Amino acid sequence: MTPDLLEEGARRVQKHRAAPTGLNNTESGGRSASDGRLTTAGEVDVAHGRILYLEDVSVSFDGFKAINKLSLDIAPGELRCIIGPNGAGKTTMMDIITGKTRPNEGRVFFGSTIDLLRHKESEIAQLGIGRKFQKPTVFEQLTVFENLELALKTHKGVKASMFFRLDSVQSDRLAEMLVTIQLAGSVNRLAGNLSHGQKQWLEIGMLLMQDPKLLLLDEPVAGMTDEETARTAELFLTLKGKHSLMVVEHDMSFIRTISEIVTVLCDGSVLAQGTLDQVQADERVIEVYLGR
């Protein structure tokens, strides 16, 4: 969820006189929107064939290098899979891209002209980078419809949202999204009553309502049933091309279904990159996964 959405949703939930669930103890919990909201997102310059570009990025926590000279780039419309053992730095990399964590050194660009290190977390979301944290973060006391509507409204800016009514184009988009995330039959159900997988889809739908250019998804199928995982793979394949996606996952059969290029992270940098077959045959990758 974006900072603006968290803020507006919390306001809305309060109106319902119930505490938000699943919001306070998430990885993103407690973030608040800043004043420096960008009003126009503008276009991202991808003339150089990259929507995201990281060069020699490092970050240390108490002297421990969680990210170590990490360089990586993603093409527009690409669906990039990121794998790697626990502690490799996958989540920290997403924290850096989204402005939650500042690296000690390196360059992080969105397209060829937007220096993400010069922007705050809320601005980065407004620029068109959506992030799905591992745990589902939906407004449980609101219905599926209300959650999606809120995401659409918040995208328009919080101030405007007080007087906001869905026009027919937006209603159509919302209806389409319900089909895309396979929740058309659950439109009036409270989000809190959905299955884990359905909550994950709802949150992805909320992110998509904000039309992100780049979508970062951290372990989206963790805890899903096999059927939910298969449906999520289908969904991601339909998003590819329209959006650029970076998907961190441990589930190798899921990765096999959706992946083109797979990047293996280890000790904060890229260990290997290629097709899943290529990286799985790589001795260094085998060593890391089997343990030294």
Ligand X SMILES: Nc1ncnc2c1ncn2[C@@H]1O[C@H](COP(=O)(O)OP(=O)(O)O)[C@@H](O)[C@H]1O
User: What is the contact surface with ligand X in residues (CB under 6 A)?
Assistant: 61, 66, 84, 86-92
Which partner in Mg ion, ligand X, none is near 92 (CB below 5 to 8 A by kind)? ligand X
Which partner in Mg ion, ligand X, none is near 88 (CB below 5 to 8 A by kind)? ligand X
Q: Which two tokens stand for residue 113?
A: 């002209």
Residue whose CB is less far from ligand X, 90 or 213: 90
Residues in a beta bridge with 53? 73, 109
Q: What are the start-end ranges of the H helices in the chain?
A: 3-15, 90-97, 121-127, 144-155, 158-161, 168-180, 196-209, 226-239, 252-258, 276-280, 283-290
- Within 63-92, the residues that bind Mg ion by CB under 5 A are 90-91
Q: Which two tokens stand for residue 146?
A: 């209300």
Q: How far is the CB of 86 from ligand X (least distance, A)?
A: 4
Which partner in Mg ion, ligand X, none is near 84 (CB below 5 to 8 A by kind)? ligand X
Which partner in Mg ion, ligand X, none is near 86 (CB below 5 to 8 A by kind)? ligand X
Q: How far is the CB of 103 from ligand X (least distance, A)?
A: 12
Tell me, what DSSP letter sits at residue 143? B
Residue whose CB is less far from ligand X, 44 or 266: 266
Residue whose CB is less far from ligand X, 76 or 85: 85
52-61 and 105-110 beta bridge pairing: antiparallel
Residue whose CB is less far from ligand X, 89 or 136: 89
Q: How far is the CB of 230 from Mg ion (least distance, A)?
A: 23
Residue whose CB is less far from Mg ion, 90 or 153: 90
Buried b (16+ CB within 10 A) or exposed e, 41-69: beebebeeebbbbbeebbbeeeeeebbbe
Which partner in ligand X, Mg ion, none is near 89 (CB below 5 to 8 A by kind)? ligand X
Q: How far is the CB of 114 from ligand X (least distance, A)?
A: 23
Long-range Cβ pairs for the range 172-176 (8 Å, 24+):
173/209, 174/145, 174/148, 174/149, 174/209
Q: Which residue is nearest to Mg ion (CB)?
A: 91
- What is the dihedral angle through the alpha carbons of 27, 76, 155, 148, rounded to the nearest 10 degrees? -70
Which partner in Mg ion, ligand X, none is near 153 (CB below 5 to 8 A by kind)? none
User: What is the 3-state secondary structure of 203-218?
Assistant: HHHHHHHCCCCEEEEE
The binding site for Mg ion (CB under 5 A) comprises 90-91
